[in-house]
């Protein structure tokens, strides 16, 4: 592989900021310093006046996703190209077996979708949708192979959700193996009751999705999961936390000694419940779970980054196009849940977080890259810029201005939830293990070079 030197960029990591050259060779960073001498034939890139960030890590995507009677409409090829154009060099996707399916068989299915197609690196959180002796045996094998995080759903009862006995079993096993458990925290039975009530009252439009999953139901799920984390000693990670009430539960549990971390999403920081009220069924494009909330929740989520209460920013990329959304035309409960956002996560976070002064630039890198690498067993291979780390780098031109549109994005979906939003900055250069995959915001690289990253367990209970 040809060597690459990135000169004079302003390197920004979770803890440092300085101007230097970075030399990449054989997929890793081999030198950092001023005026580096390089071998003949090394590609030179001038990053003067630009930031150089570690490749961003999206801790929550759904690329291959059979869900609610449909399939998310990206492939590993389209999703990873879109991710790279937005600066994300590693995805943590979810491998989600059906309740009757073997976890090992599911891994093979997901592998067949990703291998040879992904243009960025990736790994999976292993979803546990049933827990018994057979599943436990397979999970041990899966963890030994380097997939060292689990996922549980407290929502989606009767489909992907687990009951308390199963949840306890998964978390005990996780504590033993040093595996962190990620969780969708909404109480399934309460949602079921509210959905039935609204539908029986003729309240069937997308605007009823949020009221059917109120903030206190998410708060209840969050508290429940944190209690299980305390009981079992497992480390827990609350995915896509959407509101102040649930955040308060997580903070209270942290103060009581639970080892739990919080992820929020760019959608929850910038969009709100009024989007799901848009006429002519456009609101369906903004149906996801937990739902978009009242705007008043956003200040607490933003503050959570600077106060350290919110660890990471994810996308929960789950693209269902407007035709697929029509499955719920007569009943909001049947609208496939999900909003596409993996391409825009980083630049929107930079634009509305760093440029507005709401998020310090180091915390921006930390939340969008470093924390995910640390929590999920990839640090310092990923998530930072240091000698020996993978040469996953993003040269960011902060002066560039553009406007988001479905007409120009790279995701395989016919709408963009941030249509018309202005973006400050563009990924001028993106590398994956030293290979240049993006120049000036466009994919110019090699498809299929992505690798499944083998991860370490992160703690022992």
Radius of gyration of the chain (CA): 21
Question: Looking at beta carbons only, is 311 or 318 nearer to ligand URP?
Answer: 318
Residue 424 as a binder of ligand URP (CB under 6 A): the answer is no
Q: Minimum CB separation from ligand URP for residue 337, in Å?
A: 3
Alpha-carbon torsion (155, 65, 115, 436), positive or negative: negative
Hey, how many other C-beta atoms are within 10 angstroms of the C-beta on 281?
15
CA-based nearest residue to 368, from 387, 397, 347: 347
Question: Looking at beta carbons only, is 139 or 155 nearer to ligand URP?
Answer: 155
Which residue is at the shortest CB distance from ligand URP?
337
Question: Looking at beta carbons only, is 49 or 98 nearer to ligand URP?
Answer: 98
Spatial distance between the Cα atoms of 313 and 310, rounded to a whole number of angstroms: 8
Query: In the window 183-202, what residues touch Zn ion (CB under 5 A)?
Result: 184
Contact track, Zn ion, 277-316, x by CB under 5 A? ---------------------------------------x
- The answer to whether 382 and 90 have CB atoms below 8 angstroms apart is yes
Residue 433 as a binder of Zn ion (CB under 5 A): the answer is no
Contact track, ligand URP, 292-331, x by CB under 6 A? ------------------------x-x-------------
Residue 184 as a binder of ligand URP (CB under 6 A): the answer is yes
Contact track, ligand URP, 240-279, x by CB under 6 A? x---------------------------------------
Token representation of residue 251:
């903070």
Selection from ligand URP, Zn ion, none that 338 binds (CB < 5 to 8 A by kind) is ligand URP
Q: Minimum CB separation from Zn ion for residue 221, in Å?
A: 11
Question: Looking at beta carbons only, is 182 or 431 nearer to Zn ion?
Answer: 182
Please give the size of the binding site for Zn ion, defined by CB under 5 A: 2
CA-based nearest residue to 1, from 24, 31, 23, 29: 24
Quote the Cα angle for 439-444-446, to 5°: 130
Q: Minimum CB separation from Zn ion for residue 183, in Å?
A: 9
Cβ partners under 8 Å of residue 397, min gap 6: 50, 425, 426, 427, 428
- The answer to whether 90 and 389 have CB atoms below 8 angstroms apart is no
Selection from Zn ion, ligand URP, none that 337 binds (CB < 5 to 8 A by kind) is ligand URP
Q: Minimum CB separation from ligand URP for residue 34, in Å?
A: 45
Pick from 288, 346, 368, 432 the residue near ligand URP by CB under 6 A: 288
- The answer to whether 6 and 22 have CB atoms below 8 angstroms apart is yes
Spatial distance between the Cα atoms of 264 and 128, rounded to a whole number of angstroms: 22
**Chain centroid, CA 30 distance in Å:** 29
Question: Looking at beta carbons only, is 184 or 293 nearer to Zn ion?
Answer: 184
Pick from 88, 123, 337, 371 the residue near ligand URP by CB under 6 A: 337
Residue 62 as a binder of ligand URP (CB under 6 A): the answer is yes
Q: Minimum CB separation from ligand URP for residue 180, in Å?
A: 17
Question: Looking at beta carbons only, is 285 or 289 nearer to ligand URP?
Answer: 289
Residue 180 as a binder of ligand URP (CB under 6 A): the answer is no
The percent helix, strand, coil of the chain (3-state, each to 5) is 35, 25, 40
The dihedral over CA atoms of 337, 340, 342, 345, expressed in degrees to the nearest 10, equals -100
Spatial distance between the Cα atoms of 85 and 344, rounded to a whole number of angstroms: 9
Tokens 């206190």 belong to residue = 216
Question: Looking at beta carbons only, is 184 or 363 nearer to Zn ion?
Answer: 184
Spatial distance between the Cα atoms of 256 and 74, rounded to a whole number of angstroms: 41
Distance set, CA 282 to CA 73, 165, 278, 293, 422 (Å): 18, 40, 6, 17, 21
Pick from 338, 417, 434, 441 the residue near ligand URP by CB under 6 A: 338
Residues lying near Zn ion in the complex (CB under 5 A) are found at 184, 316
Positions touching ligand URP (CB under 6 A) are 62, 184, 240, 288-289, 316, 318, 337-338
């Amino acid at each position: 592989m040809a060597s690459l030197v990135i000169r004079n960029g302003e390197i920004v990591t979770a803890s440092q900021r300085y101007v230097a050259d970075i030399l990449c060779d054989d997929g890793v960073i081999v030198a950092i310093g001023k005026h580096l001498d390089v071998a003949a034939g090394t590609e030179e890139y001038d990053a003067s006046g630009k930031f150089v960030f570690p490749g961003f890590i999206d801790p929550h995507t759904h690329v291959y996703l059979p869900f609610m009677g449909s399939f998310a409409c990206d492939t590993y090829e389209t999703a990873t190209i879109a991710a790279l154009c937005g600066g994300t060099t590693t995805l943590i996707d979810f491998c989600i077996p059906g309740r009757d399916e073997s976890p090992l068989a599911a891994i093979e299915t997901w592998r067949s979708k990703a291998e040879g197609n992904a243009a960025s690196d990736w790994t999976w959180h292993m979803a546990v949708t049933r827990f018994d002796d057979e599943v436990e045996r397979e999970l041990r094998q899966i963890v030994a192979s380097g997939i060292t995080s689990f996922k549980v759903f407290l929502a989606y009862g009767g489909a992907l959700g687990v009951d308390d006995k199963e949840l306890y079993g998964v978390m005990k096993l996780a504590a033993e193996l040093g595996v962190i458990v990620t969780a969708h925290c909404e109480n399934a039975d309460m949602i079921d009751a509210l959905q039935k009530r609204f539908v029986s009252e003729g309240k069937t439009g997308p605007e009823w999705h949020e009221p059917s999953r109120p903030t206190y139901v998410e708060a209840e799920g969050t508290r429940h999961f944190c209690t299980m984390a305390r009981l079992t000693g497992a480390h827990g990670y609350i995915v896509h936390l959407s509101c102040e009430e649930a955040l308060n539960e997580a903070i209270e549990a942290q103060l009581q000694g639970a080892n739990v971390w919080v992820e929020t999403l760019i959608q929850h920081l910038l969009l709100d419940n009024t989007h799901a009220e848009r006429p002519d069924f456009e609101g369906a494009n903004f149906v996801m779970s937990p739902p978009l909330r009242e705007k008043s929740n956003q200040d607490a989520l933003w503050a959570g980054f600077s106060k350290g209460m919110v660890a990471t920013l994810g996308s929960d990329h789950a693209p269902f196009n407007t035709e697929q959304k029509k499955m719920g035309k007569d009943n909001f409960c049947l609208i496939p849940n999900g909003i596409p956002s993996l391409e825009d996560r980083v630049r929107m976070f930079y634009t509305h977080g760093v440029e507005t002064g709401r998020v310090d630039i180091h915390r921006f890198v930390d939340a969008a890259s470093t924390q995910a690498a640390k929590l999920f067993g990839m640090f310092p291979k990923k998530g930072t810029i240091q000698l020996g780390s993978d040469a996953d780098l993003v040269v960011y031109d902060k002066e560039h201005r553009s406007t988001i549109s479905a007409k120009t994005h790279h995701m395989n979906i016919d709408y963009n939830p941030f249509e018309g939003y202005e973006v400050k900055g563009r990924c001028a250069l993106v590398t994956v293990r030293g290979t240049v995959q993006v120049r000036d915001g466009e994919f110019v690289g090699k498809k299929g070079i992505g690798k499944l990253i083998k991860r370490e367990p992160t703690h022992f209970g």
